[in-house]
Amino acid sequence: MTIAPKKILLVHNNPEERGQLGIMLSRFGHEVRFSCGKGCPDQLSRDNELVIVDEKLAGQSGFDFLKRISSNQCNKVIYLSSRLWLESSLDLQKLNIYEWITKPVDPLKLAVVVCDYFVEVADEHTLPVQKF
């Protein structure tokens, strides 16, 4: 299955890490936009098919950023954190978190998770084939 290039917003405060992750994603043809987390989250997340959020942003946490995004502005999120997920799976659902990746993030691993997400979304929109 071929995945068409997608629009991805990478919200990350560290310019070096943001650049490394963005380069890897763009190698797969995706259009990657960047933010350090400043500004209105709804404006930042507009017109993106996936948002990747780091736990530490400019002036707020990644969780604070996610709590301010409306679900129709951001379908799903990949969350980058230095700690393992300790909260309930219900919290993951409330924040629209598709995948939790522990830091340091391997750029290739992130690209694979992004690809898996877009394949899963494409499969949800595929009509079932009837067998005769």
Write out pLDDT tens, residues 71-119: 666 778 999 998 876 555 556 677 788 999 999 999 999 999 999 999 9
Within 10 A of 62 (CB to CB), how many other CB atoms are there? Answer: 22
| Average pLDDT over all residues of the chain | 82
Helices 107-124 and 15-27: angle between axes, nearest 10 degrees = 50
Task: Decide which of 70 and 130 is more confident.
Answer: 70
Tens of pLDDT, residue by residue over 21-32, are 999 999 999 999
| Whole-prediction pTM | 0.84
Enumerate domains of the chain plus CATH numbers. 7-124 (3.40.50.2300)
